[in-house]
Amino acid sequence: MELPHTLSCFVCGESNPLGLQLRFHAHGGEVHAEFIPRPEHVGFKGVVHGGLQATVLDEILVWACAVATGRFGYCAELTVRFQRPVRPGEKLSVRARLVENKRDRIHLAEAEIRNESGEICSTGSGKYLPIANEVLKPMLEEFRGGSGQYANPPPWS
């Protein structure tokens, strides 16, 4: 199932000219996306900046929590491990899943970025704090695409 995206988000925003404009899908409790970094995403010459990888991991971790619990959350902690360099133009697969829901007060999720050969390039784990409904409601107004209308709780729960 295709998940919604926003207008302004750096990762998924359709109206953000500097953004990545990724699209996320959910299947069987897992969220996934494909990503091809561009030459302007490098840190060292020929190597995609680790901060960009961390950003993509954070975004998909948020979605994994939202799909599994019906609640979006703010990142409280993000841990990233870099295992091999990512090159611009390399097609990447990103996957995430909720690992634990601690009484709906904190959500723990894990993600990975793999290259076309299936090698793990980086992994991420995060702790996410659910966003209060009154704060979330105006945020949902910016959502586009995906399945159904956007109200609280999200339609994919």
Give all domains of the chain, ordered by start, each with its CATH number: 25-140 (3.10.129.10)
Residue 113 has what pLDDT?
A: 98
What's the one-letter identity of residue 149?
Q
- Decide: 140 and 150 in contact? Cβ < 8 Å: yes
Largest CA distance in the chain: 45
Residue 130 has what pLDDT?
A: 95
Model confidence pTM above 0.85 = yes
| 73-82 sheet: strands from edge to edge | 25-27, 30-35, 92-102, 106-114, 120-130, 73-82
Closest-CA residue to 111 (of 127, 122, 101): 122
Residue 53 has what pLDDT?
A: 97
Residue 136 has what pLDDT?
A: 85
Residue 147 has what pLDDT?
A: 54
| Residue 46: its H or E element | none
Ranges of residues in the chain with a pLDDT under 70 are: 146-157
Residue 82 has what pLDDT?
A: 98
